[in-house]
Amino acid sequence: MYGGCVTIIIPAYKSADRLLNYTIPYLSKLRSLDEKKWFREVVIISEEESPKSVDKVVELCKSLNYDVLYITPSKRLGKGKAIFLGALKAKCTTLLIIDVDVPIQAEEAFLTALKSLKENVIVWCSRSTYATCLWRKALSLVFRAVMSFILKQRLDSQCGVKAFPKHIFIELYSSVREHGYFYDIFIAKEAVKKRLPVKTLYVKYRGSRAGELNNPLFALKLIPKAVKSLATIATS
């Protein structure tokens, strides 16, 4: 275990191209901002990747002076469980969780992690702007409104960037009942329930530029899971 540093955790199911096109340049930008070398480790969890793709991503991460762990589970875990596995393996005391297509500016992610590291608190990014796609914007606004009503607090679970002290994330994950896209609403509920310190950082959302959620049919299939997850936290 390393003290006083940040592990970046990236769930990346079948995302070799996005890792190379989006994530690696983003990690390079974070490194350029990180004069004191707070960001020490990158943990990527990605099922069904070719060994060649894995080797290329690892090589590029190392060239940016990150320690890197690339986990390739034999079966799909779901986003939440993949992140939890990464958290268990992380060597730093603070976790920065980011989506593979990095939906916010690197400067904002840097501040998110540093605030969590220095203040030992959860930092939850919240979008001040939304995806330009109207149907995604509408679904997101409805989801956020319901979440705010249930929690009596505004926490944007759809942003894709959050930071936690490692031990707190692992403790909170025990409350999760849906290990896919909606894992974090259970974590939000448990954090509020336990009255843990949660800071909100408002960020400009760039929008996901690739991936399953840009497919309307895939997104619609998630609605029943979203409803079930919201109903579960509302009654727990």
- Helix, strand, coil tally for the chain in percent (to 5): 50, 20, 35
Of 72, 90, 99, 91, which is closest to residue 11 (Cα–Cα)?
Answer: 99
Distance CA 125, CA 116 (A): 11
Domain of residue 169 covers 6-235
The answer to the question of residue 180 being in a domain is yes
The answer to the question of residue 1 being in a domain is no
What pLDDT does residue 214 have? 64
What pLDDT does residue 130 have? 58
Sheet holding 198-203, edge to edge: 67-71, 39-45, 6-11, 94-98, 161-165, 122-127, 198-203
Question: Domain of 120: which CATH number?
Answer: 3.90.550.10
Handedness of CA 190, 191, 192, 194 (dihedral sign): positive
Whether pTM exceeds 0.85: yes
The answer to the question of residue 27 being in a domain is yes
The answer to the question of residue 137 being in a domain is yes
Rg (CA), the chain: 17
- DSSP secondary structure code for residue 212 in this structure: G
The identity of residue 191, as a single letter, is A
What pLDDT does residue 156 have? 75
The answer to the question of residue 168 being in a domain is yes
Counted domains in the chain: 1
What pLDDT does residue 98 have? 94
What pLDDT does residue 213 have? 64
Distance CA 191, CA 172 (A): 7
User: Is 192 buried (19+), middle (13-18) or exposed (0-12) by CB count in 10 A?
Assistant: middle
The answer to the question of residue 67 being in a domain is yes
What pLDDT does residue 68 have? 97
The answer to the question of residue 164 being in a domain is yes
Pairing label, strands 6-11, 94-98: parallel
State which residues of the chain have pLDDT below 70.
Answer: 1, 129-136, 206-216, 218-219
